[in-house]
Amino acid sequence: MKRSLLASALAAVLLLGLSAGFVFNEGTHAHARRTPHARKVSKDLISRARNGRGSDLVKVIVQPNDAWNSGSDLELRYAGGRGLRRFNNFNHRVVTLSANAALALAQRSDVGYVSIDKQVRTLGHLTVTTGAEYVRGSGGPGSGLLNGNGIGIAVLDSGIDTSHVSFKDSANQSRVIVSQDFTGENRTDDPYGHGTHVAAIAAGNGEVSCGRYTGIAPAAKLINLRVLNSDGIGSTSGLLSALDWIISNRAQYNIRVVNMSLGVAAVESYKTDPLCQAVRALVNAGIVVVAAAGNHGRDSEGNKIYGRIHSPGNEPSALTVGAANSVGTDARDDDGMASYSSRGPTRSFWEDEDNVKHFDNLIKPDLVAPGNKIVAAESFQNHIVTTNPQLDAQVSNIPARKMMLLSGTSMSTPVAAGAAALMLQANPSLTPNMVKAILMYTAQPLAGYNMLEQGTGELNLEGAIRVANLVRTDLSASTPLGAPLLTTTELPVPETDIAGYTFSWSRGLMLSRTWVAGSNLIAKYQRIYGTGFLLSDGVITGDGVITGDAALISEGLNFGTQIMTSSGVITGDGVGILNVSDLLADGTLNEGDLLSDGVITGDGVITGDGVITGDLILQAQMAEINGDNTPMMPIEIDGGGECSGN
């Protein structure tokens, strides 16, 4: 009886709260009257009520604040909330309510934010051109072969075909040490075909075709967390469950790297996006999270566009990776950007009570890696190749040795994830921020492309390992700002030679809305390299002047005031295309504003129905494969026996 009364009372409160925030006319549409509470609700949830669908049941993610208690969970159930789900490491709740009830819920003082549980989808010379081959024996004293051994890489994707030979170790045992399903299909194989390919790029053993298609960290352990179903679709809550599982199990499986070759249209600011918040929690726990930038760098007519970075790639703590085009060669002098790779700035936003949009406007991606026409493992009879047989690479006729050809930032992301694994094997004391900083500092700026396209440039593993091996292993929260970062006073030569081409390192970092350059980034310890910080913490902006907080960033560094194109030498050289002050000013870059050689699409444009598209867009891939005049990689049929040149 008491429960019934409580439920009735709470339902009345919810209805009263709803009428306080929204006024419905006598027609079929609901019209929102703005209150401060509207800032606590995702825009797509408000749109659902406006479009006459307020009575529809919708699964939402509730972000409580400190006032939430165990009684609040009971109240949700008594008020008709169905399927309430909690997490072990995030203070989020997932519950199914009517859209109207969800809007009213946001008005409660113990609720911080409410958003819809969105759908999720997927978005051979590789080791030479990235520098992985050059560092195999350079893991530092006593470390042996640098191949990712002992490092756990969690792959959040469509599953892994564990029968594929690419995932066997030297004893013919699977390196996929655990598999979990978060889709509800109760299977962990890969009927869709995306996750197997991604996992092999990060950690394929190269057994097929005599090592031609070896992954970046071929001895790393793989943690298969299936968040995309047989159609390549998942949900934000499924992703949150997988990330929650990682935090709880990271020590058992030594999970140091997470690969997310997926994403959803980034509409909500990273400050309220539950997926971004979960990524931040993992990074603060010492895990490198690598996220795809997205494949929306051009419109349907092939025009260059800006502002389409996916979530969680819009999260500042994530290592966000775009796609470079290595045009099928090992040398780096002909590398450029893949035209489909999403460009910054991030256009996720929040709205105030006056309907003014406040865009995040972060510089992303952080760097780029080869992502065009990558050959890697093909799962058994998968959907992608079955419906697109031209993507079979014709490497072998044996199912467990078949390889497929894909392009996208989904492919460049595991290149960076594998690189992070090698760095952590070389120096396990590196923090996620340090891994990210070293990768950006040693990247190769690609001539003719700006920072919103490439970040600091193309990943250079040879340089990154050289620096990682020199970083002190005794750094801690008590290490003073400006203390020596390296074990030597002689800085490494900031250039790398790959396949006979020598290039300079960027010697800079992206810091959310600006950049910083200078040798002190590796000569001196920066407090922002610790856990619990963003690399952008300590950057002070005001009146168009950008300086560093002396408590977090040492002196002697150059802070940028322009977003630059690169002449291919160091970060910040070339021609400015945009004032940093324009990124700092809320709402300055509006939808359709011309940005140098492209157009800002901005304004939180949602493509499709808000599905996480994960960066496997077959139309974009096929256009790139068929229309960019890049030569195909040499392919030979593998008979499946001992390697003898095939």
Residue 26 has pLDDT above 50, yes or no: no
User: What pLDDT was estimated at residue 80?
Assistant: 75
Distance, in Å, from the CA atom of 229 to the CA atom of 200, rounded to the nearest integer, reads 19
Least confident of 210-214, 241-245, 310-314, 591-595: 591-595
Choose the catalytic residue: 37, 125, 164, 194.
Answer: 194
Nearest to 345 by CA among 593, 128, 89, 87: 593
Task: Given CATH 3.30.70.2740, say whether it is the number of domain 2-117.
Answer: no
Residue 557 has pLDDT above 90, yes or no: yes
For the stretch 115-166, pLDDT in tens is: 988 766 555 468 888 999 888 766 554 446 899 999 999 999 999 999 999 9
Block residue for tokens 């074990």: 487
**Identical topology for domains 2-117 and 121-627:** no
| Structure confidence at residue 265 as a pLDDT band (50, 70, 90) | confident
Is 37 a residue of the active site? Answer: no
How far, in Å, are 120, 612, 613, 615 from residue 232 at the CA level?
Answer: 8, 10, 9, 11
User: What pLDDT was estimated at residue 587?
Assistant: 53
For the stretch 330-353, pLDDT in tens is: 889 889 999 999 999 999 998 888
How far, in Å, are 319, 328, 411, 431 from residue 438 at the CA level?
Answer: 11, 26, 21, 11
CB atoms < 10 A from the CB of 15, how many?
13
CB atoms < 10 A from the CB of 284, how many?
16
Greater pLDDT, 35 or 374: 374
Residue 215, classified by CB atoms within 10 Å of its CB into exposed (0-12), middle (13-18) or buried (19+), is buried
Amino acid at 369: A
User: What pLDDT was estimated at residue 128?
Assistant: 85
Least confident of 7-11, 91-95, 551-555: 7-11
Least confident of 197-201, 420-424, 499-503, 608-612: 608-612
The residues spanned by each domain of the chain are 2-117, 121-627
Is 194 a residue of the active site? Answer: yes
In whole angstroms, what separates CA 622 from the centre of its chain? 23
To which H or E segment does residue 203 belong? Answer: helix 194-203
Tokens of 464: 């990154």
Residue 318 has pLDDT above 60, yes or no: yes
Distance, in Å, from the CA atom of 327 to the CA atom of 335, rounded to the nearest integer, reads 7
| Structure confidence at residue 592 as a pLDDT band (50, 70, 90) | low
Distance, in Å, from the CA atom of 136 to the CA atom of 144, rounded to the nearest integer, reads 9
Choose the catalytic residue: 157, 244, 335, 638.
Answer: 157
Average of per-residue pLDDT across 256-279: 94
Residue 620 has pLDDT above 80, yes or no: no
Tokens of 115: 């958003």
Domain at 121-627: CATH architecture: 3-Layer(aba) Sandwich (3.40)
Task: Please list, in sequence order, all residues whose beta carbon lies within 8 angstroms of the beta carbon of residue 69, skipping any fewer than 6 positions away.
Answer: 110
User: What pLDDT was estimated at residue 410?
Assistant: 93
- Using the Cα atoms of residue 582, residue 529, residue 243 and residue 114 in order, give the sign of their dihedral: negative
**The whole model's pTM is what?**
0.86
Greater pLDDT, 119 or 418: 418
User: What percent of the chain shows pLDDT beyond 90?
Assistant: 60
Greater pLDDT, 303 or 178: 178
Secondary structure of residue 560 in the 3-state scheme: coil
Average of per-residue pLDDT across 232-242: 92
Greater pLDDT, 232 or 436: 436
Block residue for tokens 């792959």: 155
Greater pLDDT, 636 or 398: 398
Nearest to 363 by CA among 598, 580, 602: 580
Most confidently modeled of 66-70, 257-261, 587-591? Answer: 257-261
Residue 35 has pLDDT above 80, yes or no: no
Least confident of 57-66, 367-376, 496-505, 636-645: 636-645
| Structure confidence at residue 586 as a pLDDT band (50, 70, 90) | low
Average of per-residue pLDDT across 9-23: 34
Distance, in Å, from the CA atom of 234 to the CA atom of 371, rounded to the nearest integer, reads 23
Is 573 a residue of the active site? Answer: no
Choose the catalytic residue: 235, 379, 410, 412.
Answer: 410
User: What pLDDT was estimated at residue 311?
Assistant: 93
Average pLDDT of every residue of the chain: 84
